[in-house]
Amino acid sequence: MAIERTLVLIKPDGQKRKLTGLVIDRLDHAGFEMIATRIVPVTRKLAEAHYEALKDKPFFQNLINFFVPTKNFKILAIVYQGENVISEVRKVVGATNPEAADPSSIRGSFGRISSVTGIMENVVHASANAEDAEREIALWFRKEDLPE
C-alpha cells in the first residue's frame, strides 16, 4: 500500500469551541504522523475553491459563511502522512452528519447541526479520497511548506 497524504483543517466551529488541541490529540493517539502545519487566512475565494464540488448545493452559501466567519479568520491546516492515512483519518473524524457519526468519533462527539443555518458544524475537515487530498493540500499549502 502506498504512502498517502491527507489534509486536516480545524473548522471555525472547532476553533471557536476550543477543540483544536483535542482534535490533534485524538489524531496523535491514533498514531498518525504530522508532516506540515500552516495557519491560513481563509478568504471566500479559498473556501469556495475548497468546497468547489458542492457549489450547486442549496446550502453552499451558508457553508461558505460558516467557513469564513470574519474577514481575517485564520484556519489551522495540517498534513498527515502514512499508509492508508486518508481513510484511517476519516474513521477517527467520523461521518459528515454529526448525528449519524459514530459517537466516539470527533464529529460524533462534538459536532452539531445548526438550527439556524442547517449547516453540519462538524469541527474538522479531512480529505475524502486521494484526488481530493492532492487538490486540497495544493490549495492550503505552498510547495515549499511540504517535505519531499
Binding site for ligand IDP (CB under 6 A): 54, 59, 63, 96, 118-120, 122, 125, 128
CB 131 → Mg ion: shortest distance, Å?
11
Contact 133, 127 (CB under 8 A): yes
Report how far apart the first and last C-alpha atoms of the chain are (Å, whole number).
19
Q: What CA–CA distance (Å, rounded) separates 81 from 103? A: 25
147 contact partners, CB below 8 Å, separation of at least 6: 35, 36
Closer residue to ligand IDP in complex, CB, 13/141: 13
Q: Which stretch binds Mg ion (CB under 5 A): 4-12, 17-25, 58-66, 121-129?
A: 121-129
**For residues 95 and 128, which CB has a smaller minimum distance to Mg ion in the complex?**
128
Which residue's Cβ lies closest to ligand IDP? 96
- Residues 6+ away with beta carbon under 8 Å from 8: 23, 27, 77, 78, 79, 80, 89, 93, 124, 125, 126
Which residue is catalytic, options 5, 26, 107, 125?
Answer: 125
Residue closer to Mg ion by CB (options 19, 124) is 124
Look up residue 144 and give its DSSP letter. G
Q: How far is the CB of 126 from Mg ion (least distance, A)?
A: 8
* Catalytic-residue membership of 125: yes
Q: Which residue is nearest to Mg ion (CB)?
A: 128
Rule CB under 5 A: is residue 128 a binding residue for Mg ion? yes
Cβ contact 82:88 at 8 Å: yes
Closest distance to Mg ion from the beta carbon of 128 (Å): 4
Which grid cell is 47? Answer: 473556501
Active site residues: 125
